[in-house]
């Protein structure tokens, strides 16, 4: 009568969304001040003032049919040119507007890219811990998801990676800074990864694509540099989103950039255009295409996230929690104090702490803490993290 | 290396887009005043002033994280409630917010609905003339597209329809007012259609869904009423878009409404939610969700389209063209003056008239004229339509 798989995807909410809904219910019962919701990656930092200024300017434009009208399916040319120039300025990537495709955010970027590439029997590799929706997007194309377990300190496990590449491997998804661990993969690791990819591409006689999911690129701390994959590996496709960097997650705006050095780059780009069309994406939201071009050099208040990270990390270290200090994104991935992450999350829940158990991220025994919340809430939550730790010491 | 089907969809632009791009090139060569582009359905009527006012209000809201943040995947509850109330006010449909799913426009609405319903061996029926992308969206689910030829005066051909329903028919797409003919299916026809559907659903022991693609619902002339399918047939899903009614085609905002009377309505809705998730639609653009709720009672200047229609129809009738006078939308579907629509369109092109040949709409021997253009351009184009007709009389 209807599609059973879609029904399941729609009726079984993701663990993250489930916890978030639980939090809203709990807040209604116990009062908002007694719920510490660390579940969602919804930025609490406001959009930069330049976003409002750009919107104000655009909506006062006399001809609304230009501002709100269809753009070309790939996106407005001037917007693509602005983005392409900026990519070249930062990474000398030789990008052109004709290899940029504007999208409705990172999820759209990934879905479209995967559909554009997918052929019969294809497999895509993801590195744990990973954003759970990767499995959904890959599943939608009919391809197989191959999971690589985490390396030391949540780095890339390159030994397992090398052993799991087959002739059917079409591509891999790299997400750095990583959701949920906050880890930024080092240049040394990236170079080693690319060496494996090059040798395997050669062995199997076809490119293995790197799909870079980069919504957290701008959110890094301590002056760290995130390697830009196009500079290391030719068959790279970047899936970018402004959701986190400009605090616009609901507006659904991002892009796909195909590396000019990519094998058959132009045809891959056409496949991207076709996949966007096929999935019902007519064009990316037109007003926000122009907003992100206006705000190409802007970022939200990254320092606010850094203050949150430091407060949380210092306290949790004191209480004896085990974690890798995040260098980017706004997530802390903490070892649960018992083997079962769900049981640990449930015990935390009783104290009002909403922490996402790690199983759906492809790793057992951890919880994700989203610290894109108010400094004050983190501060007030610390005694509860202490109580939680002590409850296991007893 | 990449998906061949997607490559083809991306590299072979639709006939409509092709003509539009040709027009831009021609304008650069011959001057804009010598190109009469009737190719695209991009509204020329500005968005209502209330849209600007709503945007202005929303962007001055102090907390940008509320306005630009994620909404729930189904859409903001207050927005869904506003839409649901409005549907009940107009159509007494018994709608609830929990059966409304906000989308990124009509193409997204259709893609999501088709994916939500599609099972193995499914077929979806479309009535010619039809919007060519229907075939793309149905094709993406892996289902088969079954085309019903046009009835008299571009009405529904119910005899052919009845004969082509099989046990694999999962649903049909109804588009009224119709793109490309501008025809509004009469209540008599709708009732007859529903009678066929009821008898066939019974015969095959499963519902046959009606998917109503309704971007042109508000654009009707001469006080005509467009039957609301939910009032006639229980297994109805409405795919609505604000692209044309509020002149916001680039902003990608619309909704899916599942009839409360639909078989297993709640589960069908969950399948819609799952399909949205699977195709990478995280939530509909958040700012414009709120704008359309603010502007729920607004419309663009429909009279402007009516003036265009009348000017064009009166003149073309004088020149001897054959067509059904449109009662809605902003398209005129005119019989070509030779059997080959493409050859006719090519001859018109030489005069600077860009008319879309009908083959991709599933009908031979017609052209579509989009009259969502300036009155002045239509006026200036009339002598050329006359010349074109005369060139065939010679």
Across the interface, which of B8, B107, B271 has its CB nearest the CB of A10? Answer: B271
Residues B133 and B172 in one domain: yes
Domain edge (last residue) among A244, A268, A294: A294
Residue A32 has pLDDT above 90, yes or no: no
Q: What is the ipTM of this complex?
A: 0.95
* Per-residue model confidence as pLDDT tens digits over A364-378: 999 999 999 999 999
Residues A252 and A312 in one domain: no
How far apart are alpha carbons A387 and B285 in whole angstroms?
A: 41
Please name the residue that has the structure tokens 């108010």.
Answer: A374
Residues A139 and A21 in one domain: no
Examine residue B177 and say whether the peptide bond preceding it is cis (omega within 30 degrees of 0). Answer: yes
The verdict on a CB contact (< 8 Å) between A267 and B11 is yes
Residues A33 and A121 in one domain: no
Cβ-based neighbour number of residue A279 at 10 Å: 27
- Looking at residue B227, its pLDDT comes to 98
How far apart are alpha carbons B390 and B387 in whole angstroms?
A: 5
* Per-residue model confidence as pLDDT tens digits over B69-96: 999 999 999 999 999 999 999 999 999 9
Closest by CA to B204, choosing from B123, B115, B140, B113, is B123
Residues A114 and A258 in one domain: yes
Chain B residue closest in CA terms to A53 = B59
Domain of A380, CATH number, reads: 3.90.1150.10
Residues A99 and A180 in one domain: yes
Mean pLDDT of chain A: 96
Query: Which residue range is the domain that position A314 belongs to?
Result: 4-48+300-393
Look at A133-142, B20-29, B270-279, B295-304 and tell me which has the smallest mean pLDDT. B20-29
- Looking at residue B379, its pLDDT comes to 97
Chain A window 307-336: which residues touch B at a Cβ cutoff of 8 Å? none
The verdict on a CB contact (< 8 Å) between A283 and B7 is no
Chain A residue closest in CA terms to B2 = A117
How many domains are there within chain A?
Answer: 2
Decide: residue B136, CB within 10 A, 0-12 exposed, 13-18 middle, 19+ buried. buried
Which residues share a beta bridge with B37? Answer: B354
* Per-residue model confidence as pLDDT tens digits over A70-122: 999 999 999 999 999 999 999 999 999 999 999 999 999 999 999 999 999 99
Residues B282 and B375 in one domain: no
Interface contact B118, partner A, CB < 8 A: yes
3-state secondary structure of B282: coil
Domain of B146, CATH number, reads: 3.40.640.10
Domain edge (last residue) among B294, B319, B354: B294
The verdict on a CB contact (< 8 Å) between B47 and A63 is no
Residue B394 has pLDDT above 80, yes or no: no
Residues B64 and B113 in one domain: yes
Given a contact cutoff of 8 angstroms between Cβ atoms, the answer to whether B8 and A277 are in contact is no
Residues A170 and A251 in one domain: yes
Given a contact cutoff of 8 angstroms between Cβ atoms, the answer to whether B20 and B37 are in contact is yes
- Looking at residue A289, its pLDDT comes to 98
Chain A window 128-167: which residues touch B at a Cβ cutoff of 8 Å? 133, 136-137, 139-140
How far apart are alpha carbons B269 and B237 in whole angstroms?
A: 10
Pairing, β A366-370 against β A356-357: antiparallel
Residue A373, CB-side half-sphere exposure with 13 Å CA sphere: 23
pLDDT band at B24 (very low <50, low <70, confident <90, very high): confident
Whether the CA torsion B130, B132, B135, B141 is positive or negative: it is negative
Residues A11 and A126 in one domain: no
Closest by CA to B174, choosing from B238, B121, B90, B255, is B238
Residues B168 and B196 in one domain: yes
How far apart are alpha carbons A172 and A196 in whole angstroms?
A: 12
* Per-residue model confidence as pLDDT tens digits over B321-379: 999 999 999 999 999 999 999 999 999 999 999 999 999 999 999 999 999 999 999 99
How far apart are alpha carbons B276 and B84 in whole angstroms?
A: 20
Given a contact cutoff of 8 angstroms between Cβ atoms, the answer to whether B357 and B367 are in contact is yes
- What distance in Å separates residue B363's CA from the closest CA in chain A? 22
* Per-residue model confidence as pLDDT tens digits over A65-77: 999 999 999 999 9
Domain edge (last residue) among B294, B327, B351: B294
Q: Which two tokens stand for residue A182?
A: 């906050």
Given a contact cutoff of 8 angstroms between Cβ atoms, the answer to whether B240 and B103 are in contact is no
Q: Provide Rg for chain A, Cα atoms.
A: 21
This prediction's pTM: 0.96
Residue A17 has pLDDT above 90, yes or no: no
Residues A279 and A323 in one domain: no
How far apart are alpha carbons B347 and B69 in whole angstroms?
A: 51
Q: Which two tokens stand for residue B23?
A: 């027009």
């Amino acid at each position: 009568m209807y599609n059973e798989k879609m029904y399941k995807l729609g009726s079984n909410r993701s663990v993250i969304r489930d916890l978030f809904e639980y939090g809203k219910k709990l807040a209604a019962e116990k009062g908002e001040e007694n719920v510490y919701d660390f579940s969602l990656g919804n930025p609490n930092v406001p959009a930069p003032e330049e976003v409002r200024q750009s919107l104000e300017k655009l909506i006062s434009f006399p001809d609304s049919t230009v501002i709100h009208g269809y753009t070309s399916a790939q996106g407005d040319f001037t917007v693509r040119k602005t983005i392409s120039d900026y990519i070249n300025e930062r990474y000398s990537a030789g990008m052109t507007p004709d290899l940029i495709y504007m999208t409705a955010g990172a999820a759209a970027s990934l879905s479209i890219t995967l559909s554009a590439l997918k052929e019969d029997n294809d497999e895509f590799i993801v590195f744990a811990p990973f954003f759970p929706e990767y499995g959904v997007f890959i599943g939608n194309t009919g391809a197989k998801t191959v999971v690589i377990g985490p390396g030391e300190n949540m780095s890339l496990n390159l030994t397992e990676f090398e052993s799991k590449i087959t002739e059917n491997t079409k591509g891999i998804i790299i997400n750095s800074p990583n959701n949920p661990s906050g880890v930024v993969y080092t240049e040394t690791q990236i170079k080693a990864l690319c060496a494996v990819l090059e040798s395997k591409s050669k062995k199997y006689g076809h490119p293995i694509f790197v799909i870079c999911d980069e919504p957290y690129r701008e959110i890094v701390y301590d002056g760290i540099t995130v390697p830009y994959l196009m500079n290391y590996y030719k068959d790279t496709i970047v899936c970018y989103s402004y959701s986190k960097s400009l605090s616009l997650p609901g507006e659904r705006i991002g892009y796909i950039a195909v590396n000019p050095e990519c094998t058959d780059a132009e045809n891959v780009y056409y496949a991207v255009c076709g996949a966007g069309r096929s999935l019902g994406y007519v064009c990316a939201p037109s007003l926000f295409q122009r907003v992100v071009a206006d705000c190409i050099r802007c970022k939200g208040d990254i320092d606010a996230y850094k203050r949150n990270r430091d407060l949380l990390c210092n306290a949790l270290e004191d209480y004896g929690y085990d974690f890798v200090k995040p260098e980017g994104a706004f997530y802390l991935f903490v070892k649960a104090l018992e083997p079962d992450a769900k049981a640990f999350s449930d015990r935390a829940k009783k104290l009002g702490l909403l922490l996402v158990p790690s199983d759906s991220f492809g790793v057992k025994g951890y919880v994700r803490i989203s610290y894109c919340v108010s400094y004050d809430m983190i501060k007030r939550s610390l005694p509860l993290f202490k109580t939680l730790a002590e409850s296991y010491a007893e």
